[in-house]
């Protein structure tokens, strides 16, 4: 079986989407260890890289349709369809997704799609029933499945995860009591302001909040720093993988305080369709707290590996933090071991196995 994976953009230091691009990158690397895989995407220059059974083929963008970086265009990339058995498209609403689906099906290929939100306005699926041509849709969560086009709802498979269990481990490092960690982009819908306000509610400064992530909204970052003044809050930006792992291994809890409606009143269309950091933290033996936004609750075992709280409620986050700290005192490392055991179901190995079973039997 030869697999072609198509994504509008790819994960790098200038990553535009974040978790969506990262999902495609990590899934591609994982499945290429099992079957020959070609990854097709678009960038400023033509690139071809061979890594074992993986070929990364980046095509130079002819145009970003209507200026959207999520809707690049290059017809030559369609030649990659030849010689492949399965085509796996990431992103429903792009012109290249539509063209790849239609040509792939005309050539007798199996064609699947996973959506990550976003997309462009210049597409064929508004005029032609493209969605009916897909062999099937694949969703990374139950919430993501609901967001796929209704024409596909009868042929959707939910495959949750994944996380690299070999990379994310506890390694026996001693955790710091009441060390609270946030990992993610500094954007208003991530709700970091709510987390800082939650920490203000502690009567003593015997806690520490580490905010690890790069700013994508400078006014919002300025507001966060103002909220943090006078409190034990540390901002870490430009962190490499080694520093990220150190922070995971030192923390006693990770918080993902995302919001549907942010502090400016803006609405996020598809926030948190999965939640990488929740799985990574639990793989490192860290309990997690998340808000009831998107699919985050699907990746936490309530009361066992963490807590789900209402969004935009700092007092609810504070209450969950108190519960986590109490559980560490009562259970010790058993708490962390339970987190790691539970998250094993979301490993990339399991995710790839489920995909290959689907590709082979459809």
Check whether 18 has a pLDDT greater than 80: no
Q: Which of 9-18, 71-80, 152-161 has the lowest mean pLDDT?
A: 9-18
* Residue 330, C-beta contacts closer than 8 angstroms, at least 6 positions apart: none
The SS3 assignment for 63 reads strand
Question: Start-end ranges of CATH 3.40.50.2000 in the chain?
Answer: 3-162+347-361, 179-344
Q: What's the token pair of residue 116?
A: 């990550």
Q: Using pLDDT thresholds of 50, 70 and 90, give the confidence band for residue 159.
A: very high
Task: Give the CA distances from residue 289 to residues 5, 118, 164, 255, 325, in Å, rounded to whole numbers and listed in that order.
Answer: 33, 26, 20, 5, 12
3-162+347-361 has which CATH code? Answer: 3.40.50.2000
Task: Give the CA distances from residue 75 to residues 80, 221, 271, in Å, rounded to whole numbers and listed in that order.
Answer: 10, 40, 31
What are the pLDDT digits (tens) for 318-348?
999 999 999 999 998 899 999 999 999 999 9
- Among the residues of the chain, which ranges form H helices? 19-31, 95-106, 142-147, 192-200, 218-228, 241-250, 276-283, 314-331, 333-343, 348-361
What are the pLDDT digits (tens) for 33-77?
999 999 999 999 999 999 999 999 999 999 999 988 889 999 999
Task: Give the CA distances from residue 229 to residues 149, 223, 225, in Å, rounded to whole numbers and listed in that order.
Answer: 45, 10, 6
- Look at the domain 179-344 and name its fold: Rossmann fold (3.40.50)
């Amino acid at each position: 079986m030869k697999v072609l994976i198509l994504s509008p953009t790819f994960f790098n230091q200038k990553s535009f989407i974040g978790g969506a691009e990262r999902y495609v990158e990590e899934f591609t690397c994982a499945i290429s260890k099992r079957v020959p895989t070609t990854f097709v995407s678009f960038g400023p220059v033509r690139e071809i890289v061979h890594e074992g059974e993986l070929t990364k083929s980046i095509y130079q963008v002819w145009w970003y349709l209507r200026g959207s970086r999520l809707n690049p265009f290059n017809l030559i990339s369609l030649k990659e369809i030849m010689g492949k058995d399965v085509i796996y498209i990431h992103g429903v609403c792009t012109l290249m997704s539509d063209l790849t689906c239609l040509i792939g099906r005309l050539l007798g290929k199996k064609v699947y799609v996973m959506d990550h939100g976003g997309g462009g306005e210049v597409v064929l699926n508004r005029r032609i029933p493209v969605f009916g041509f897909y062999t099937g849709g694949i969703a990374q969560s139950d919430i993501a499945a609901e967001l796929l086009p209704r024409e596909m709802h009868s042929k959707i498979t939910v495959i949750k995860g994944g996380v690299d269990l070999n990379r994310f481990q506890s390694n026996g490092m001693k955790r710091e009591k009441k060390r609270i960690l946030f990992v993610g982009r500094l954007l208003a819908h991530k709700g970091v302001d709510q987390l800082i306000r939650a920490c203000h509610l502690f009567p003593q400064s015997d806690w520490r909040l580490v905010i690890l992530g790069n700013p994508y909204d400078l006014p919002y970052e300025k507001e966060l720093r103002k909220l943090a003044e006078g409190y034990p809050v540390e901002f870490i930006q430009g962190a490499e993988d080694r520093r990220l792992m150190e922070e995971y291994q030192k923390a006693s809890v990770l918080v993902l305080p995302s919001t549907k409606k942010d502090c400016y009143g803006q609405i996020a269309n598809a926030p948190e369709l999965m939640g990488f950091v929740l799985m990574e933290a639990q793989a490192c033996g860290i309990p997690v707290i998340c808000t009831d936004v998107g699919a985050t609750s699907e990746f936490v075992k309530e009361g066992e590996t963490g807590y789900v709280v209402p969004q935009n409620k700092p007092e609810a986050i504070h209450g969950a933090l108190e519960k986590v700290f109490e559980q560490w005192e009562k259970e010790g490392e058993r708490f962390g071991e339970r987190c790691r055991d539970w998250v094993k179901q979301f490993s990339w190995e399991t995710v790839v196995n489920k995909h290959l079973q689907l590709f082979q039997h459809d």
